[in-house]
């Protein structure tokens, strides 16, 4: 029987486990990031359970979100998923981005978005964050990303922008 290597990639022996070295991906700094890098989130098909949970949390009880007949009478093919629920799919934590920048992350600065097409239960969302800007700001840096969500038909249903404040390498 061949002996398996049980030494973690950090170089510590198994009995010397250090949770601080347990990383999903190698840590990067602001200086390591590049314009054009894409951080995708796993695709997700929206269900009635997702819509009901969001309605409960948001307290948004507008009938366009749950009443199929009301939605049809007002020009919608089906109840429309809450816009803020769709926007939530662009959360950086849904991607590997925060794992890359975890040690230098300071805060989420701002976001904006446009809702370009309706989303309905049964639609599959494909969210992505793409770095579009890197701005030095003293000891910190601002990362600007475009936030997009396409549906299963390839339609862009949401387009937006996020900004994050990170410590620059010199400040570590």
> Read out DSSP for 61-90?
--GGGT-HHHHHHTT-SSPPPPHHHHHHTT
Dihedral sign for Cα atoms in the order 14, 16, 22, 28: negative
160: β partners = 113, 147
Whole-number pLDDT of residue 12: 53
Report the alpha-carbon distance of residue 52 to residue 49 in Å, rounded.
5
Phi, psi of 11, deg, nearest 5: 95, 0
Mean pLDDT of 74-82: 95
Whole-number pLDDT of residue 170: 53
Work out the mean pLDDT of the chain and round it to a whole number: 90
Mean pLDDT of 145-154: 98
pLDDT digits (tens, 9 = 90+) for 107-145: 999 999 999 999 999 999 999 999 999 999 999 999 999
Mean pLDDT of 21-32: 88
Neighbours of 62 (CB within 10 A): 12
Whole-number pLDDT of residue 20: 80
Mean pLDDT of 51-76: 93
Contacts of 134 (CB under 8 A, 6+ apart): 30, 33, 34, 35, 141, 142, 143, 144
Mean pLDDT of 71-84: 96
**86: burial class by Cβ within 10 Å (0-12, 13-18, 19+)?**
buried
- Check if the beta carbon of residue 143 is closer than 8 Å to that of residue 73: no
Q: How confident is the model at residue 2 (pLDDT cuts 50, 70, 90)?
A: very low
Give this prediction's pTM.
0.84
DSSP 21: G
Residue of 38 and 22 predicted with greater confidence:
38
Alpha carbon 130 to chain centroid distance? Answer: 11
pLDDT over 80 (residue 157):
yes
DSSP 3: P
Q: How confident is the model at residue 14 (pLDDT cuts 50, 70, 90)?
A: low
């Amino acid at each position: 029987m061949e002996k398996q290597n049980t030494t973690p990639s950090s170089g510590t022996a198994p009995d010397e486990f250090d949770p601080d070295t347990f990383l999903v991906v190698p840590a990067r700094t602001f200086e390591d990031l590049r314009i054009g890098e894409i951080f995708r989130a796993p695709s997700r098909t929206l269900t009635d359970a997702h819509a009901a949970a969001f309605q409960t949390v948001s307290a948004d009880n507008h009938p366009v979100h749950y009443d199929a007949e009301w939605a049809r009478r007002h020009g919608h093919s089906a109840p429309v998923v809450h816009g803020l629920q769709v926007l939530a799919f662009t959360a950086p934590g849904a991607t590997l981005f925060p794992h890359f920048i975890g040690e230098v992350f300071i805060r989420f600065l701002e976001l904006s978005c446009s809702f370009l097409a309706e989303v309905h239960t049964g639609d599959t969302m494909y969210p992505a964050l793409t770095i579009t800007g890197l701005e030095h700001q003293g000891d910190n840096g601002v990362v600007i990303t475009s936030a997009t969500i396409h549906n299963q038909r390839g339609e862009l249903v949401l387009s937006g922008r996020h900004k994050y404040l990170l410590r620059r390498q010199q400040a570590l």
